[in-house]
Amino acid sequence: MATLTSQYYCCFVITGTLLMAHDVYALDDVSESAFLQDFPVVLSASRMSQPLAEAPNAMTVIDRAMIVASGFRTIPDLFRMVPGMYVSAFSGNRPIVSYHGTTDDSARRMQVLVDGRSVFMPPLGAVAWEDLPLQIDDIERIEVIRGPAAATFGGNSTQGVINIITRDAGAYSGYKASATKGNGGVADASFSFGKRSEKLDYRLSLGYRHDDGYAANQYDINNDGYKTRLLNLRANYRPNDVDNLDFQVGYNEGTRGDGTNNGSPNTPHDKHNHEYFTQLTWLRSLDNGNELKLQYYHIYQNVLNTLEPYQPLSDNYTNTRDDIELQHTVHTSLTNRLVWGGSLRRDWTHAPNKFSGDQTVMQGTLFANDEWRITPKWLLNTGAMLEDGSIGTLNLSPRIALIYKLTPQQSFRIGVSKAYRNPSVYEERSNYQFGPPVNYTFYLSTGGLRPEMIVSREVGYLGDFPKYGWTIDARLYQDTIKDVIYETDDAGGVPKDFKNLFDASHHGLELTSKHRWGEASWLMVNYTFQTMHSNVQLPYAGSYSDTMPKQMVSALYATKIANNIDFSLGYYQQGAMAVIDQGTKDRQPFTRRVDIRVAKQFKIDNAGHHAEVALVVQGLSGAGYNDYIIQNQFNRRAFITTSVAF
């Protein structure tokens, strides 16, 4: 009870201090240049709109130009353009996206949001990337927080946050259609319709995606292709000058290949996935630039997986999530802004083979983030979140960042944050087993896990040099992690358990350089050097320090050439690494990949109607490489996309 009281008291003191800051320290006059920046404006770092140079965390913004130029047709591939981000795949329909360690297909330490809706779902605590009712063409931009952000988004944010922001309902008016065809079973199609009016905008998107995964490689072992059909509707209604109602609904269904031909009892078959969501956001504009925001969403997931050849055994599960959040943004003075609020969430899981009974988890949060402009050159960002995870855990995650504006185009940042990750319901309560004729238990949790805790320290620099068309983002970081939760098989076999197995430290350097030549050409280059240390020997990979590439490079060049032709070239390189949950035979060697995209636009009429034909080649050299495990052999892929807007 004493701990509970002290943590609520700490949160109260922090919030109260932020509210009073303007009375004690506010300045009478602030230079207008302090508010004018050439950097992108971001929303995710502190829940307030602010220039990237004034955000309390290192961030990468993937905008529409980068999305188009990359030629990527799946969302996980986009994160190859983020320094320090590891992208691979456990199978053709189970992508892996991880930042700073623990490169399995769950990535339980990174929060993923779509328009503020958390899609990091139970029972396993993972993101089902292929089940998102979302098309790449509907994405406006992606904001990636590189580093702990639990003060803003809670306990699954200890290594980073991905916030996917979709295009507004009124982003375009008219019809758009596209079709994609290529080798490896690539066959996509989409259709969308949008309409704008004085008070109501809406957009409807329909899509289909098909891919054979890695099944067509030299091993011919995996059954990992997929078929996806999706629908997404977004509408925005403005009844008056101060209220804005945003409504979204999405549906996704399809088959996912499962099973192998390597003698496993789980022989090739298809499982069937269904997901839908509804989301309603009310935004009210208040006096003096203040605003009030109320958001509710519901997510439903259902997976039907009958095991072959052991019918009627199944590995079915159903998840639901209901979340409501209230957020208030207030300008407490000319030099101070505060956003505060809270949320309640209910997760429910029915997974008879993974748990001994249905699982319900209630979660509540209180948060506050403050931006205090001490002088025109000095800015202080502070924040904290109090989170009740309902599995016997109550954590307070604070953050502080001090920013110095050397010039309006150059800033230095020093930040410290402390964040917690509560055990997932699967880590704490799993009982993953099958009855006759299998009679096999994979995981059996003993429970009693402590939350993971991370203390992160970073120094950052952002510089924009308009005269040379050049920007640079540099970050040095040191993360200390305590009580890392990882699977173990102390008995030398199964069932496996989850334990607070080890502590670790991460150090690294991240650089992003962007250069632009006029309006037609630009180049982005990312470089990452990272080291990880722990005295643990993992059950499969061996040394923890080998489970992430020490060096990573990514680059994307885009230009417009004559006759309405776009050309882009992507380069992606990572060092050798040991796969964290696989044996030494699956060790990934040094890999590099080159992609190209060439697109030609055609004008249809003077009303703005146009068409485009684009060729994308991934793995231009043709030299294949193994993705995560040796069976996942990535070979050159080529596909053509034809689209028309009218």
Q: Name which of 105-114, 185-194, 544-553 the model is least confident about.
A: 105-114
- Predicted pLDDT of residue 206: 97
How far is 73 from 494, CA to CA, in rounded Å? 39
pLDDT confidence bin for 470, thresholds 50/70/90 = very high
CB atoms within 10 A of CB 252: 23
pLDDT confidence bin for 435, thresholds 50/70/90 = confident
Half-sphere exposure of 91 (CA within 13 A, CB side): 18
- Predicted pLDDT of residue 625: 84
pLDDT confidence bin for 13, thresholds 50/70/90 = very low
- Predicted pLDDT of residue 542: 72
Identify the burial level of 34 via C-beta atoms within 10 angstroms of its C-beta, where 0-12 means exposed, 13-18 middle and 19 or more buried: middle
- Predicted pLDDT of residue 25: 34
Average pLDDT, the chain: 87
- When pLDDT is averaged across residues 4-25 and rounded to a whole number, the result is 37
Helices (H), 40-162: 64-70, 150-153
- Predicted pLDDT of residue 441: 87
pLDDT of 453 above 70: yes
**And the tokens for 296?**
């509710």
pLDDT of 2 above 90: no
pLDDT digits (tens, 9 = 90+) for 284-309: 999 988 999 999 999 999 999 987 77
How far is 235 from 243, CA to CA, in rounded Å? 14
For the chain, percent of residues with pLDDT exceeding 70: 89
**DSSP letter for each residue of 326-361:** EEEEEEEETTEEEEEEEEEEEEEEE-TTTSSS-EEE
How far is 117 from 277, CA to CA, in rounded Å? 10
- Predicted pLDDT of residue 30: 35
Q: At which residue do the structure tokens 């330490």 appear?
A: 109
- Predicted pLDDT of residue 54: 93
Find out whether 319 and 4 touch, Cβ atoms under 8 Å: no
**And the tokens for 67?**
């999305």
Find out whether 241 and 107 touch, Cβ atoms under 8 Å: no
pLDDT of 176 above 90: yes
pLDDT of 1 above 70: no
pLDDT confidence bin for 114, thresholds 50/70/90 = very high
pLDDT confidence bin for 493, thresholds 50/70/90 = low
Q: Name which of 240-249, 305-314, 454-463, 466-475 the model is least confident about.
A: 305-314
More confident residue, 211 or 221: 211
pLDDT confidence bin for 477, thresholds 50/70/90 = very high
Question: CA dist 594 to 506, 606, 619, 622, Å?
Answer: 29, 37, 5, 9
- When pLDDT is averaged across residues 404-429 and rounded to a whole number, the result is 92
- When pLDDT is averaged across residues 493-501 and rounded to a whole number, the result is 84
Would you say the C-alpha torsion 423, 424, 430, 434 has a positive or negative sign? negative
How wide is the angle at C-alpha 323 spanned by C-alphas 319 and 325, nearest 5°? 165
- Predicted pLDDT of residue 265: 64
- Predicted pLDDT of residue 392: 66
- Predicted pLDDT of residue 16: 42
Burial per residue of 452-476, b for 16 or more beta-carbon CB atoms within 10 angstroms, e otherwise: bbbebebebbbbbeeeeeebbbbbe
Q: At which residue do the structure tokens 């800015």 appear?
A: 379
- When pLDDT is averaged across residues 457-466 and rounded to a whole number, the result is 95
- Predicted pLDDT of residue 320: 96
Identify the burial level of 608 via C-beta atoms within 10 angstroms of its C-beta, where 0-12 means exposed, 13-18 middle and 19 or more buried: exposed
Find all residues with CB under 8 Å of 164, minimum gap 6, and list them. 75, 112, 113, 114, 115, 134, 139, 142
133: preceding bond cis by omega (within 30 degrees) = no
Burial per residue of 181-194, b for 16 or more beta-carbon CB atoms within 10 angstroms, e otherwise: ebebbbbbebebeb
pLDDT confidence bin for 12, thresholds 50/70/90 = very low
Q: Give me the domains of the chain, ranges plus CATH numbers.
A: 2-645 (2.40.170.20)
Find all residues with CB under 8 Å of 403, minimum gap 6, and list them. 53, 54, 56, 378, 379, 380, 381, 411, 412, 413
How far is 400 from 412, CA to CA, in rounded Å? 14
- When pLDDT is averaged across residues 307-327 and rounded to a whole number, the result is 88
pLDDT digits (tens, 9 = 90+) for 558-610: 999 988 999 999 999 999 888 877 767 778 889 999 999 999 999 888 877 89
Q: What are phi and psi of 103, to 5 degrees?
A: -85, 55
pLDDT confidence bin for 519, thresholds 50/70/90 = confident
Q: Which amino acid is at 222?
A: N
Identify the burial level of 21 via C-beta atoms within 10 angstroms of its C-beta, where 0-12 means exposed, 13-18 middle and 19 or more buried: buried
- When pLDDT is averaged across residues 602-625 and rounded to a whole number, the result is 89
How far is 157 from 251, CA to CA, in rounded Å? 26
pLDDT confidence bin for 490, thresholds 50/70/90 = low
pLDDT confidence bin for 555, thresholds 50/70/90 = very high
pLDDT of 9 above 50: no
CB atoms within 10 A of CB 401: 24
Find out whether 100 and 639 touch, Cβ atoms under 8 Å: no
- Predicted pLDDT of residue 11: 41
Find out whether 450 and 483 touch, Cβ atoms under 8 Å: yes
More confident residue, 531 or 19: 531
312: preceding bond cis by omega (within 30 degrees) = yes
How far is 82 from 69, CA to CA, in rounded Å? 15
Find all residues with CB under 8 Å of 218, minimum gap 6, and list them. 633
Closest CA to 510 of 572, 580, 458: 458
- When pLDDT is averaged across residues 416-436 and rounded to a whole number, the result is 90
